[in-house]
Amino acid sequence: MTLTEVIVVAVLAVLVSAALMSFALYFAKLSKSTFSQLKFSRYTKKAIEEIAKRVRYAKRLEVQDSGTRLLCTDENDVTCAIYFSDDDDNPSTLVNNRLYYDPNTDDDGVDAIMIGCYISSVPSKPVFDYLDRTSAVEINFRVGDPRDDPGASFQRETGPGPQGVTVQTAVGPRNSYLD
């Protein structure tokens, strides 16, 4: 082999290696984005199931604190609370924004259980909204990055575009006739 042939083979090997590396990096970023979306979907499912279970078996519902706290009283007159908490009062730091479930608001010895994380509110809508005993509870929140901002922390990990799930649903109580 001549020196020219060796140089041509080396250049081709470098080009093929660079193409394979960029292809691998692209798919790594794509899989990270997909994993992130699946993670947010799982968090959303857990939160919605917990909220729906409490609302369905409530005989009395009450929304407090400008729609961030929902009280559900069951047929045994035990009141539980589901509430949104932003521990640092900064909505852009999603790691501190959570939904909690307090199984008995009258018992201070029972700790609240986190049922949702990376929560943000839907603009111009309360997290919980309830008109009267004949209506369903409207639930509005977002799990994941709420902005399409290239500088957002989730964007650096998963690439451009909002990663997350927006929840806008309603759940009605089955037992409101007991009240």
Encoded amino acid at 103, one letter: P
Residue 97, CB-side half-sphere exposure with 13 Å CA sphere: 19
Strand-pair partners of 83: 69, 100
Whole-number CA gyration radius for the chain: 24
> How many domains, the chain?
1
- State pLDDT tens for residues 39-84: 888 889 999 999 999 999 898 899 999 999 999 998 889 999 999 9
126 vs 80: CA distance, rounded Å: 19
For the chain, residues with pLDDT lower than 70 are 91-92, 133-134, 146-162, 176-179
**Residue 89 backbone zone (phi > 0: left; psi -120 to 50: alpha; other: beta):** left
Domain that holds residue 168: 3-178
Provide the whole-model pTM: 0.74
Cβ atoms within 10 A of the Cβ of 78, count?
13
pLDDT score for 113:
93
